[in-house]
Amino acid sequence: MSEAPILFTREAGIAEVVLNRPEKRNALNPEMIVRLARAWEEIEADPTVRVVLLRGRGDKTFCAGADLGRLTPLLTRARPAEDEWDEAMLAEPKILNRAMLRGTGFHIPVIGAMRGAIVAGGMELALACDLRIIADDSTMGLLEVQRGLIPAAGGVARVSRQIPSAWAAEILLVGDTVSAEDALRMGLVNRVVPAAEVEHTARVLAERMSRNSPLAMRKAKEAMMEASGRSIVDAFAIEDAGIKVLLRSNDAREGSKAFMERRTPNFTGS
């Protein structure tokens, strides 16, 4: 296996992104941030990718958040740039946002397959996923208030929209971790399975989704993101715009034709 801290592969419509720094609990240093941002950009530009599988190497920690010894001192200018990755971080102020999918333009579905601790920036990455599969012994938490910070890489905005406000306030203001069972009860995750089954469960789901129309999935995700927080009238308008595009697509015609012919559709994303 490559020693790069971010591994990135594509096969059969599924892109796989792996946080590959298990000896440091997959903590995000400048190189990981830059490589992760570039991986998302490459995935977004690839029309063959239908779904993304995001996971962390190792079974103890999906991601412990920022590498406080490397990333934070660089961003606060407490230390100068020491290599090309540090320089890339400082040259592109928005690269952290792109790495954490902190935006509304990435419309490819992302499945998180997570074992062990999912905390701080690691939980912010989890919240950026559309579907989340975690181990039954995992814990999740946004711990930033304990360090005099807030989870400002998408954590506050996402958790407050994804679960009821009382749960969101407890996660954000208390800063303790929650168990996998509680995460499922709160609606933070889709499925909780034994640790040995996390990656298999997520991959089966990714393979199932890879047979869907990629255009339809992207439009569905786009509509969900754009409609969040809008009035019902505005949300209906967003739906209307999405279905207009889909009704003119080859995938919509293929889907109906395949249904009538009782066969598996051959979607092309066009």
**Which residues are the active-site residues?**
124, 144
Contact yes or no for 162/104 (Cβ under 8 A): no
The length of the chain, given as a count of residues: 270
SS3 65: coil
At 266, the amino acid letter reads N
Q: How far is CA 201 from CA 20, 78, 113, 140, 256, in A?
A: 20, 43, 8, 19, 29
- How many angstroms separate the CA atoms of 55 and 133, rounded? 10
- How many angstroms separate the CA atoms of 93 and 121, rounded? 17
Give Dmax (Cα) for the chain: 65
At 30, the amino acid letter reads P
Token pair for residue 66?
């920022």
Contact yes or no for 123/100 (Cβ under 8 A): no
DSSP string, 232-263: HHHHHHHHHHHHHHHHTSHHHHHHHHHHHTTS
- Give the distance, in angstroms, between the CA of residue 206 and the centroid of all CA atoms in the same chain: 13
- How many angstroms separate the CA atoms of 24 and 20, rounded? 9
Beta strands in the chain (DSSP E): 6-11, 14-19, 51-56, 61-63, 110-114, 117-119, 131-135, 139-141, 178-179, 191-193
